[in-house]
Amino acid sequence: MAVQLVDYPELLEDLGEHAAEVLEANWHEAARVFTSRGLEAYLQGAASLRALGRGSDLVVAFVESAPQVAREIGEQAVFEMLSTAIRMYSKTSAQVLSLFFSTAPVVARRLGEIGLFRGYLLLIDQLLAQAPQGVRPMLGKIEVLLDQMTLGGLRRWAMWGVSAYRNNFAAQTEFFGLASPQALAVMQQERRGVLFIDIQRRLVMYLRALWGRDFFLRPTSGDFETREGYRPFIEDYFIYVPDAYDDWENGRGKRTAALEVFRAAAAHASAHVVLSRFDARFELAPPARRPWIGLLEDAWVERRAISAFPGLHGLWKPLVTVPATVDRTAEPDLAAVLDRCALALLDPEYEDDHRVVVAAREAFARLPQDDGDRYTGILESAEHLAALAGECGLHFTPSAEISAIAYRDDNRYLWTAPHTAELGDPLAGGQPQVRKYVNLMEMLNAVEVENAGDDAQEVWILSTELYDDDGTTFNEREGKVPISQPMTYSEWDYQTQLERPLWVTLYEKRPKSGDPEVINGFLEQQKPLVQRLKKLIEAVQPQGVIRERKVEDGDDIDINAAVLALSDIRMGLQPDPRIGIRTRLHIRDLSVMLLIDLSESTNDALRSRAEGDVTVLQLAREAAALLAQALERIGDPFMLCGFDSNGRHDVEFYRFKEFDGPYDDKVKARLAGMTGQLSTRMGAALRHAGGLMERRASQKKLVILLTDGEPADNDVRDPQYLRFDAKKAVEELARKGIRTFCLSLDPYADEYVSRIFGARNYLVLDHVDRLPEKLPQLYIAMTK
């Protein structure tokens, strides 16, 4: 569903006349570059900035810059930029924030990649903490700085200024505004030869001319601090090259221009993309053999590329050199010997009588000229060469394996499987994978490739299970655990009092199945408790027509009450006016969801039962079974869910029973298969549960959260952060008419759970082993 600006009149009114006009002027461009959810977050971000009360210039700067940043490096960069600005607002002025937004498109265009843009945001955050007076002048000169330096150079330049003028605010302003000789001198020292962003288009056209196809190039900045790590690499079909190259000298007085180094690196990596492929045997190879695998594969793809384009030999050969004076009979440095082997395999005229170099030449000569099964030969040769190198005293150490060949990549492409299922294949035009739900006859008669991989362009999904003759489903036997499309939710930052839009990613996953007899056996053991619950249930069953007495405006008159009122009048007393009887239909219109915390802590054992140790997870499973049994008898529609999390990018949500689904052995099997793992990002789970509850047409809606601890996750250090976010999620659900209640198994939870859910919306269960009994009784008491 398209997002229309006219659907947000209140937001336009809140922004003010000037900001609203700017938003309308930029809306067309924003609609082109943002997704529907991105547009909603874009509007929400503008409203959040307006709520800061720092004037309309700040809002206007964000509204104008966000679509430009999204066009350059994607909408995710916009929301990370907004999150950084929200953190900044308490540390700096509105003018600095406006300048931060207005210069962001220039930064995005000069850096050209979201990973580098994140590094820039981190740098701004650090400067605000260490040299706040320098941020404003640096932002004013950011275009000049990035025209001369890479992100790594900018970071080293800025840290030099911080170190030199930490306590001299006037000197900070001069340095970061490029008004001092020291600033210009350090910038000249950090200046690089040719920046990738200036020649990116030329490189893409160069590769297209070579291979007749498109390639995707991105910059990488290596190590900001040490300048190491400036090596190309290939990852998920993207070619990453250093964001800058200097002119290269071979140590013999010959210089190669930086542009030629860029061309050599791009040509070599593109040859890998075209000619190499991932092989699982390489992934399993010992680390000591990988340098030799990479050496032979590099030489093979270059030989094939040179046979097709002979001019590449003249491009690569000057960049593969060895020192003029070297002891060729013994060489203790493995990296140097590898470089000598590389030159020997590239240049037939190069002479070297080192045992390993000679063996490498012989092994390479035995590899097939065409594609064939060369990887088997490469594996065998790498094993032999690694053993021979060990005999010569060339021992492998990962930290020391640094090649002097500037243009070659690190070969991770060979032993890292591409994640095509998640990204789609950008080489196929960047088209997203299509998921299509079909019926059984379409699946049987029209499917083209039954055993297609995860990288298929179109995946067909059967909407119902398909059973084999033995009663098992094909999905259980041959399928993979399905997950939903990613769903993103905002998160509340209590320090800035603003939301971080599209901050958390949640996936719905299919729960594992266990033995339903585990649940049936427990219910059989708890027959006395089930009988007691039955009596309580009968008291809250729908009663049909109810006659309510003592009302003023009833449907009928209560004769007894009317006689008493008349008697009071004659005695001179104040009569009771409630002499009516009202007849109404009593119907329970309620939907309820039990949301179970499935974090790792639920696997902790308790010693409160005579029959031995039990875990919190086992008690939660039994409580869910008893509550489901009670709700099934009452007739209230209910849903059973669980959640865990592994950072903000991976919140897992499980549905054990749907509202409209039956409570049968399949549901009991899912309850029996519950496992505890990872962490507890409570706010995201509550928001997703609220979204599911919103679809219900019931008059009353209730979410019962069963947890054994406070909100926590592995990427959050501040214990208050997720508590305040969960509190905000509860408030959001309350505004939607959804009541939340927390049943906590943490004996120390009173301190924080009351702040999250409210003083009357929680219960801390001191005796954990009474959970299966207390939960159904609690529900019945809440819904009478």
Q: What's the 3-state SS for 621-643?
A: HHHHHHHHHHHHHHCCCEEEEEE
Q: What is the pLDDT of residue 226?
A: 45
Residue 419 structure tokens: 């994640």
Is the Cβ–Cβ distance between 341 and 357 less than 8 Å?
yes
Q: What is the pLDDT of residue 645?
A: 93
Name the residue with higher pLDDT: 670 or 455. 670
Average pLDDT over residues 434-455: 62
- Closest C-alpha among 129, 59, 49 to residue 83: 49
Is the Cβ–Cβ distance between 335 and 404 less than 8 Å?
yes
pLDDT of 732 above 80: yes
pLDDT tens digits along 219-274: 887 554 444 446 888 887 788 888 888 888 766 667 888 889 889 999 999 998 88
- Closest C-alpha among 482, 507, 501, 511 to residue 688: 507
**231: three-class secondary structure by DSSP:** coil
Q: What are phi and psi of 702, to 5 degrees?
A: -135, 130
Q: Tell me the average pLDDT of the chain.
A: 81
Q: How far is CA 164 from CA 135, 158, 172, 265, 706, in A?
A: 15, 10, 9, 37, 54
Residue 278 structure tokens: 């991932």
**Which residues, 6 or more positions from 711, have their beta carbon under 8 angstroms from its beta carbon?**
680, 681, 682, 683, 722, 723, 725, 726, 756
Q: What is the pLDDT of residue 428?
A: 39
Residue 758 structure tokens: 């409210």
* Strand runs labelled E in 494-533: 498-509
Q: What is the pLDDT of residue 681?
A: 93
Q: What is the pLDDT of residue 453?
A: 55
Residue type, 56: S
Task: Provide the Cα torsion 402, 404, 409, 412; round to 10°.
Answer: -20
Q: What are phi and psi of 48, to 5 degrees?
A: -65, -40
Q: What is the pLDDT of residue 430?
A: 42
Which percentage of the chain shows pLDDT scores above 70? 82
- Max CA pair span of the chain: 130
Average pLDDT over residues 31-60: 84
Q: What is the pLDDT of residue 101?
A: 92
Whole-number Å distance between alpha carbons of 161 and 131: 9
Average pLDDT over residues 38-59: 84
Q: What is the pLDDT of residue 371?
A: 66
pLDDT tens digits along 561-597: 888 888 888 888 888 888 888 766 555 678 889 999 9
Q: What is the pLDDT of residue 520?
A: 86
Exposure on the CB side of residue 80, measured as CA atoms within 13 A: 20
Characterize the bridge pairing of strands 638-645 and 590-597.
Answer: parallel
- Closest C-alpha among 738, 658, 656, 651 to residue 691: 738
Whole-number Å distance between alpha carbons of 392 and 374: 27
Is the Cβ–Cβ distance between 725 and 494 less than 8 Å?
yes
pLDDT of 355 above 60: yes
Is the Cβ–Cβ distance between 154 and 126 less than 8 Å?
no
Q: What is the CA radius of gyration of the chain?
A: 34
